[in-house]
Amino acid sequence: MKSKNLSEKILRSVRSKGFKYIELDSVIEANHIVQRSGENFKKFIFSFIDHNGSELCLRPDLTIASCLRYLENNLKGKEKIFYSGEAYRKSPNRKDSIIRNQIGFEILGSKNEKKDDKEIINTAIKSLSNFSYSSGTLKIGNVEIFNLLIAKLDIPKRWKLRLVRHFWREKYFNDLLKRLETNSDVDPTIVEVDKRRYQQMLKEKQQRLIAGRTVGEILNRFNNKIKDPRRTSGGKKVSKIIKDFLKINCQVNLAAEKLNTFFKKNKINLSVEQNYFPISQNRLLKLKVEFSASFGRQLEYYTGMVFKIDIREKNKNINIVNGGRYDKLIFNLGSNKQVPAVGAALNLI
């Protein structure tokens, strides 16, 4: 699937949907990545120090490079863009390639969320006409529904922030649920150490960054923790609600019904309409279409609709497209306001 001819066919297919081709920088400032994802993300990027002492890195993600372009060029309003190239990222699995060859397409700055979500998915599906595949699955999720559920649960605010913040880190998220079940918040000896460190940090510069957060943000979270103590019961019930929600998986035309039944059963004041989802058909061409409440945990920056397309080609299952909505990404990279954004990347394997 690496042929130049195939790539050109896909690019023509995307251009025919009204997207404008752009070039992206291959090297970006590493602090943009670290501030968004924390110091831990550094181990996945290829970075170096330039002659001015600034830390730069090869782009680990084409979407981030595209959003930086929008921000740094002070662009306004709607843009329908597409691009192609390689992203470079280390993987915990040594068998994975560090180079990802992709074609991406995005709609930035448009407030017509549902229309744009559907257009991105339809563009992805049209690009698949260039592949010879026998069958496939379009899986749709929505991070926003998860966040709305957490907001309605009877748990302290800091626990809500924790669960939302770490939704994409599946193993750590499951550890949090175990702590919630047992009402095990923090070790008292750790709290005493925190209090001493808190007094020291009060004397430091409030804007200094530590692991992607400012000193002021860390102190504010500690204050909230003291003012919002854990109750001694209810954790097991809330954990079960979250786990049951994440098990919801069905044909997409049943998604609203399944979710509303769940909300009603658990006395949660939420409801969704079927038109909330960008696709309502259970089959599109050779693709069966599913909804999964747990899907959307691959990247931290997704904020709403997420999707992926897997196809079967020559007796192999291939993840060919990944995409979704990331309305906070440009803001997190340094904008003074949120910019609506949705896009997808097609993997040329």
The residues spanned by each domain of the chain are 4-147+242-347, 169-236
Q: Rounded to a whole number, what is the largest CA-CA distance in the chain?
A: 64
Element (H, E) at 126: helix 113-127
pLDDT tier for residue 232 given thresholds of 50, 70 and 90: very low
**Block residue for tokens 């924790």:** 162
List phi, psi (to 5°) of 232: -95, 5
> pLDDT tens, 242-285?
999 999 999 999 999 999 999 999 999 999 999 999 999 999 98
Distance CA 192, CA 234 (A): 26
For residue 2, pLDDT beyond 60 = no
- Residue 185, beta-bridge partner list: none
**CB-count exposure of residue 335 (10 Å: 0-12, 13-18, 19+):** middle
Place of tokens 């979270």: 221
Beta strands in the chain (DSSP E): 20-21, 27-29, 47-49, 55-58, 79-88, 99-108, 135-142, 209-210, 213-214, 249-251, 283-284, 287-292, 305-313, 316-325, 341-347
Residues 132-163: pLDDT tens digits?
888 999 999 999 999 999 999 999 888 999 99
Name the region of 204 (left: φ>0; alpha: ψ -120 to 50; beta: rest): beta
Please report the pLDDT score of residue 1 as a whole number.
44
More confident residue, 167 or 190: 167
User: Which one has a higher pLDDT value, 94 or 265?
Assistant: 265
Residue-wise pLDDT for 5-54, tens only, equals 888 999 999 999 999 999 999 999 888 776 665 555 677 889 999 998 98
What pLDDT does residue 187 have? 44
Candidates 20, 120, 25, 21; CA nearest to 69 is: 25
Superfamily name with CATH number, domain 4-147+242-347: Bira Bifunctional Protein; Domain 2 (3.30.930.10)
pTM here?
Answer: 0.81
Q: Which residues pair with 42 in a beta bridge?
A: none
